Structure 1
Amino acid sequence: MLDFIEDLGHGIHAIDTGFQRPRFDAAYLLVQDGRAAFIDTGTNHAVPRLLAALDALGLARDAVDWVIPTHVHLDHAGGTGLLMEALPNARALVHPRGLRHLVDPKALWLGALAVYGEAEMQRSYGKLVPVPAGRAEASSDGQLIHLAGRPLRLIDTPGHARHHHAVWDEASRSWFTGDTFGLSYREFDVDGRAWVLPTTTPVQFDPDALKATVARLLAARPLAMLVTHYGRIGGSEAAVQHLAAQLLAQVDEMVALARPLAAAPDRHARLKAALLDACLARLRAHGHPAGADAAEWLALDAELNAQGLAVWLDQAAR
């Protein structure tokens, strides 16, 4: 097996898309009785890896029935159009608030451009390829689809973004969570225990909606969460509940840090520093040394979380 593919059991394979650094961004390939689905795609640059994964598993291009981005942020969905060009039978299933942005990605590109800048957009994402409208459809809350008879249920999961859905796989009792169950980097595992961090990236963070979404995910009594950043976490109902408690406590902590800074002239710098300090403190409590390397790994998340919280503060003020 190729070194960027991890077999997670139950026909689920995590593919390291190569975005930013190793084991930072996953796409998932779900296989059932010779049929396949991709859940999240990574960027355009990930597409050769996704196709190589099919080859490694002995699957033809026409064996893929579904391509399901959890939401349309480019590290999750940027490669959807290019991937679809190689998969003649696949249909894209997209949250209804995000569908038009994959069929016509101009606004998606401009929104990301405002956050990352032209040079980073070209380096990390490449030119966005539209998804053909005739091969794309909007999901609905509670929708049930099948992969070779294997049921997959989609639910609306706002909080990180309003254009976000999650996918429940009953066979493994796992959620493909995108970003609604936060980030969990394998560098921060301690004695096999994962650590999670909420992601409040701009522009649609909503703490109350996110907490309601997590409660809804937990209602299914999952054994594991399959997060895009990165991999399978949990392993038992109790472990997932513990991670959820960590996640929700940090959502409240982030909100508490942000509110007093709402009108501060140096809000962004202070909020970014406070978020990074809080993350490192929680990481140390988890048992990780959280030194300079951890601060470097978390710097981008602190930056984007500060931006997302700022947008939320400004919306709340209006």
Structure 2
Amino acid sequence: MRHGIHTIDTGFGRPSFDAAYLVVERGRGAFIDSGTAHSLPRFLEAMEKADLEPKDIDWVILTHVHLDHAGGAGALMRELPNAMLAVHPRGARHMIDPSVLIAGAAAVYGGEDIVRRDYGDIFPVPEDRVIEADDGFVVDLAGRALLCLDTPGHARHHIAVHDERASAFFTGDIFGLSYRELDSPGGPFIIPTTSPVQFEPDAAHASIDRLLRYEPEAMYLTHFGRVTEVKRLASDLHQTIDAMVAIGRRHASAPDREQRIAFDFIDLYVDRAHRQCVTLTTAEIVKILEVDIRLNAQGVVVWLDRGAR
């Protein structure tokens, strides 16, 4: 635990797959992302370990409204009598009325029953407890400034949260995925996430560069945890985004393009991992990344269908 930042494994997917964070300052707390509704006991446990009570939480800040980050927000807010929820202006309405969010997730994942199974019951957040975090909005946590920056590329409703005290960002998904199982003597391994439906490579490049201008010492990723070597990881992300875009364009007209893109993503990620000195076998790497490979292929296909530039 550094600078009062507690990492919460939300329990979604598998261990060390999906993180949220509790930031504590002078006896007050802010959650960054909410996990799923199934995650609620873990958030209550995190408060207890930090010697906080529900009344001591002032904020829930959502990096974006994809359900692994925000599906549990309504359930969590019911437990926090004094908290306000900060979210990108494009995401606020989906927290107040999550019906469209649920329908969109059902279309991606295969039905509302699957959404309920994986994410739990998704409750609305009362409108008077939702704050639209415009670009430059500052959350005041007991005098500790948490700066919200508009960071599209993964989603148009995405913010990253800068914590000057920690010289770090809470990056949601804009700074990619870096699972600890893929750490190696060469350092952390990272890939972008382009999951449906708002991947925009130019915007992703710009958002990554914007974060670097703050010269952060660390990034707190949702998938998963704290990473350093920020400049090297940003370079890796830029290169991999470009390679993924090239793969998508190459298969744009193929009738089975999603499958072809996914197969080429496997080759791309495994090759980059082995060059990063990851010692796992191809099969082991694919098993760790299999969900992201599928979602990244879907995201690139949606981008192609929107008239990719």
Q: Same fold (TM over 0.5)?
A: yes
- Secondary structure of the residue aligned to 1:316 is coil
Distance 1:37 1:186, change over 3 A: same
Partner of 2:162: 168
Q: Matches of 2:61 and 2:139 in 1, distance apart?
A: 11
TM-score when normalising by structure 1: 0.95
Measure the CA separation in 2 of the matches of 1:298 and 1:274: 13
What does residue 4 of structure 1 align with?
A: none
> What residue number does 2:144 align with?
150
Q: Residue 18 of structure 1 contacts residue 46 of structure 1 at CA under 8 Å; is this kept in 2? A: yes
Distance 1:179 1:267, change over 3 A: same
1:30–1:317 Cα change, 3 Å? closer
1:288 aligns with 2:278: yes
In structure 2, C-alpha distance between the alignment counterparts of 1:89 and 1:309, rounded to whole Å:
40
* Paired position in structure 2 for 1:137: 131
Give the equivalent residue in structure 2 for 1:23. Answer: 16
**Normalising by the residue count of structure 2, what TM-score does the alignment of the two structures yield?**
0.97
Pair 1:253-2:247 in alignment: no
AA matched with 1:313: L
SS of 1:97 mapped into structure 2? helix
- Give the letter aligned to residue 276 of structure 1: I
Partner secondary structure for residue 153 of structure 1? strand
Shift of 1:26: 0.3
Whole-angstrom CA distance in 1 between matches of 2:194 and 2:182: 19
Secondary structure at the residue paired with 1:67?
A: strand
Counterpart CA distance in 2 for 1:114 and 1:304 is 13
Q: Residue 82 of structure 1: which of 75, 78, 97 is its match?
A: 75
Is the partner of 2:207 in helix, strand or coil?
A: helix
Number of aligned residues: 307
Equivalent residue number for residue 199 of structure 1: 193
* Cα deviation, residue 296, structure 1: 1.1
Confirm or deny that 1:183 pairs with 2:177. Answer: yes
Identity in percent: 52
How many Å apart are 1:288 and its aligned residue?
1.1
- What do residues 15-54 of structure 1 show as CA deviations (whole Å, max 9, x unaligned)? 0001110000001000000000000111001111001110
1:123 CA drift (Å): 2.0
Question: Which whole-Å deviations, capped at 9, do the CAs of 1:94-132 have from their partners, x for residues lacking one?
Answer: 100000001100000000001112343122101210011
Provide structure 2 residue ranges, at least 5 long, that are not aligned to the other structure: none
What aligned pairs does 1:29-108 form with structure 2 within 5 A after superposition?
Answer: 29-108=22-101
Deviations 1:188-216 (A, max 9, x none): 00137111110000000000000000010
Partner residue of 1:111? Answer: 104
How far is 1:145 from its partner?
2.1
Task: Say if 1:280 and 1:290, in contact at 8 Å, map to a contact too.
Answer: no
Q: How far apart in 2 are the matches of 1:15 and 1:248?
A: 28
- How much does 1:317 deviate? 5.5
Aligned equivalent of 1:302: 293
CA RMSD of aligned residues (A): 1.1
CA deviation profile, 1:53-99 (whole Å, cap 9, x unmatched): 10121101110000011000000000000000000000000100000
